[in-house]
Amino acid sequence: MRKLASAAMVAVMSVCLITGVKAGEVEVLHWWTSGGEARSAAELKRLLEAKGHTWKDFAVAGGGGESAMTVLKSRVVSGKPPTAAQIKGPSIQEWGDEGVLATLDEVAKQGGWDELLPAVVANVMKYKGSYVAVPVNVHRVNWMWVNPDIFKKAGAKIPTTWDEFIVAAEKIKAAGYIPVAHGGQAWQDSTTFESVVLGIGGADFYRKAFVDLEPSALNSPTMIQAFDVLRKIKHYTDKDAPGRDWNLATAMVINGKAAMQFMGDWAKGEFTAAGKKPGVDYECVAAPGTAGSFTFNIDSFVMFDVGAGSSQEAQMALAATIMEPEFQEVFNLNKGSIPARLNMPRDKFDSCAHTSMDEFVASAKTATLVPSMAHGMSTFSSVQGAIYDVVTKFYNDDKMPAEKAAETLAAAVKDAR
Ligand code: BGC
């Protein structure tokens, strides 16, 4: 054991001698704890350690990251921020306003990030023109994960509209399967809901509602219709859905218990970890009505200002590593997402990733590329929280009329702005 430890020390020291860096430690806060997520995070750890630095894991379980963000806030308030944290979307601006972030401009300049990142990604990473965050990926949220076997046995057709969804779900239920795998948690309710809103209202409507926060969109006949569809979806979930974690819902599709799941492509990470192949064991299709649109969710890391020293060297090494092609490839192969970096080779990626890559580029041209509300890309966290509350309240209260939900949504968003 001792021999192994000293061999490891020698290896680390020689990496440091070769690269001339001071070995430091980065404490990394993230919420990647499911099978596919953990495999992805392990790749980042491995590549950072190959540069001679130490990874101190700070994983806070809870899909969507709500718990992680609560823990992060208390750590920062008590004056002990982690050195790096998974923070994304407009929240990066909120943390920038607090004056606690380190600038990554030097690493970004050396790495040519401005040329390597699409503008839609780079913009999210900058605070007042400076890079303060580094993107690991682009997730697409508006997916539907399908077990084709169940569809076949039920004689159902994979739906492309919400009307077709009802027809298919009825057949699947009649055949004795659970039509929709869902976990009743606020972020999962909203993940499904935003796909419904996109499918029914289209990208322009989605943008008016969840980006521009227009009251006339939030409280509108289209929004009422979307709430109605959400209620119908609930009707096709099982009684054990409340509180279920998202990856357990994905497992139901993998194991042939449920036919569909509405979830971002981190779900693909679970299929991959289970050794399943798209087009053979499962299908990835756009949620009904959303083909050609793309709700994006970009995971990124920010570094907290720790002053000069070995921790800072380790932080900058982490930032540089994240943008390297090796990381962008291996991480995203495991995570289910696509690289944030442009012009990466596609050959190792599967058909779902190819669809995602193509639609990401195409949707940017047709203005059907929209930020995910449920994953903190479209609004500040207070507004997102207000939307979550209304959607989840409606989801759990079968007596609440859809009209009332739309009205409450507009009022709650107005208060939270
Ligand atoms: C994150 C993903 C993560 C998912 C489930 C999303 O908000 O962007 O990286 O896999 O939540 O935890």
Whether residue 139 contacts residue 297, with contact meaning beta carbons closer than 8 Å, is answered with yes
- The conformation of residue 102, written as its DSSP 8-state character, comes to P
39 lines ligand 1 (CB under 6 A): no
pLDDT at 3 exceeding the cut of 80: no
Burial class (CB in 10 A: 0-12, 13-18, 19+), 354: middle
* Residue percentage of the chain with pLDDT more than 70: 95
33 CA: nearest ligand 1 atom: 12
What is the tens place of the pLDDT at every residue in 315-359?
999 999 999 999 999 999 999 999 999 999 999 999 999 999 999
Q: For residue 363, is it within any domain?
A: no
Q: In total, how many domains does the chain have?
A: 2
Q: 36 lies in which domain range?
A: 20-138+298-351
Q: What is the pTM of this model?
A: 0.95
> Does any domain span residue 361?
no
Residues 36 and 98 in one domain: yes
CB-ligand 1 contact for 31 (6 Å cutoff): yes
139 lines ligand 1 (CB under 6 A): yes
Q: What is the pLDDT of residue 1?
A: 44
89 alpha carbon to ligand 1 midpoint, in Å? 13
**Residue 242 pLDDT > 50, yes or no?**
yes
Q: What is the pLDDT at residue 22?
A: 77
Q: Are residues 315 and 284 in the same domain?
A: no
266 Cβ closer than 6 Å to some ligand 1 atom = yes
Are residues 154 and 219 part of one domain? yes
Question: Mean pLDDT across the chain, nearest whole number?
Answer: 95
pLDDT at 4: 47
Residue nearest to atom 6 of ligand 1 (CA): 64
Whether 400 has a pLDDT exceeding 70, the answer reads: yes
Closest residue to atom 10 of ligand 1, CA basis: 266
Q: Phi and psi at residue 36, in whole multiples of 5°?
A: -65, -40
Tell me which of 30, 263, 266 to substitute to probe ligand 1's pocket, judged by most ligand atoms within 8 Å of the beta carbon.
Answer: 266
The separation between the first and the last C-alpha atoms of the chain, rounded to the nearest angstrom, is: 57
Q: What ligand 1 atom has the least distance to the C-alpha of 246?
A: 5
| Residue 78, in any domain of the structure | yes
6: pLDDT confidence band, cut at 50, 70 and 90?
low
Shared domain for 114 and 217, answered yes or no, is no
pLDDT score of 21:
61
Is 6 contained in some domain? no
In this structure, are 236 and 252 located in the same domain?
yes
144 and 134 housed in the same domain? no
Percent of the chain predicted with pLDDT > 90: 95
Determine the residue of 248, 297, 301 to mutate for testing ligand 1's pocket, defined as the one with the most ligand atoms within 8 A of the Cβ atom: 297
Answer for the pair 57, 264: CB distance below 8 angstroms, yes or no.
no
25 and 119 part of one domain: yes
Q: Same domain for 115 and 129? A: yes
85 and 175 within one domain: no
Specify whether the backbone of 275 is left (phi greater than 0), alpha (psi in -120 to 50) or beta: left
Smallest Cα–Cα separation from 146: which of 352, 359, 372?
A: 352
DSSP 35-68: HHHHHHHHHHHHHHHHTT-EEEEEE---GGGHHH
- Backbone torsions φ then ψ of 273, nearest 5 degrees: -65, -30
- Could you tell me whether strands 294-297 and 369-371 are parallel, antiparallel, or unpaired per DSSP bridges? parallel
The CATH code of the domain that includes 308 is: 3.40.190.10
From 21-25, 107-111, 252-256, 408-412, the region with the lowest mean pLDDT = 21-25
Q: Does any ligand 1 atom lie closer than 6 A to the CB of residue 143?
A: no
